[in-house]
Amino acid sequence: MRHALHDMLAPAALERLTLLINHVLGREPAAVARLQPHAGRVVALHAEGWPALLPPWPALVFRITPAGLLEWCGQEGHTSPDLQVRVQASNPAGLVMGALSGRAPGVHVEGDARLAADANWLLEHLRWDLADDVHRLLGPGPAQLLAQVGPALREGLEKLAPQAASLAQRCAAVFGARP
């Protein structure tokens, strides 16, 4: 049952993730310009050390479109990607908190050197401006509130992340990690 629910929800979640990534890319003309020459190339993102207690890591394989955006390749992924990006994901909560605070995760990249250089540039320079999106959607009041509350919330979540990872490890030890 656990994997059936995951298999049903993962595609919808990954399609939404692709939309979010493309939104962030589309707001930065330099990012789109860096990806356009790589149209048709395939990038795979792998999680190293993903906890067995969590649902399996989905196939995060994307094809670069002529517009300089990404297209999710589906659950099957792609057999020979042009670039493989391996992210250390043994602490998923810390990974998410780092991403929310604007820190690029530690990655290992293998494959085409030019594509790798452009992917590295994206990791170093591209950030989601959540406050600007909230301002455009809901107006200046909620955006200002987010700007005031956001840093304190982020700090609290960053302090919580190691405790959540420790709890997950203890649960895995007590209940046994299931593949």
Full domain range(s) for residue 59: 2-129
Same-domain pairing of 109 and 170: no
Q: Are residues 49 and 106 in the same domain?
A: yes
Q: Which residues pair with 43 in a beta bridge?
A: 62, 83
How many other β-carbons are positioned within 10 Å of the β-carbon of residue 50? 17
pLDDT tens digits along 119-144: 888 888 776 666 666 656 666 776 67
Instruction: Evaluate whether 70 touches 96 at the Cβ level (below 8 Å).
Output: no
Which of the residues in the chain have pLDDT under 50? 1, 178-179
Residues 152, 78, single domain; the answer is no
DSSP structure class, residue 65: P
- 124 and 153 inside one domain: no
The CATH number given to whatever domain includes residue 88 is 3.30.1050
Max Cα distance, the chain (Å):
50
30 and 74 share a domain? yes
- Residues 107-120, buried b or exposed e (16+ Cβ, 10 A)? eebebbeebbebbe
Residues 137 and 79 in one domain: no
pLDDT at site 9 = 80
Q: Is 41 in contact with 113 (CB distance < 8 Å)?
A: no
* Residue 113 shares a structural domain with residue 141: no
Residue 179's pLDDT is 44
What is the distance between the alpha carbons of residues 61 and 54, in angstroms, rounded to a whole number? 20
List, in sequence order, every residue forming a beta bridge with 111; answer none if it has no partner: 83
Q: Looking at the structure, do residues 53 and 102 belong to the same domain, yes or no?
A: yes
Are 146 and 117 in a shared domain? no
pTM: 0.71
Give the pLDDT confidence score for residue 88 in this predicted structure: 85
pLDDT at position 102, please? 64
To the nearest whole number, what is the mean pLDDT of the chain? 79
Residues 77 and 102 reside in one and the same domain: yes
Q: How far apart are CA 155 and CA 172, in angstroms?
A: 26
Residues 92, 17, single domain; the answer is yes
Count of domains in the chain? 2
Residue 178 confidence (pLDDT): 47
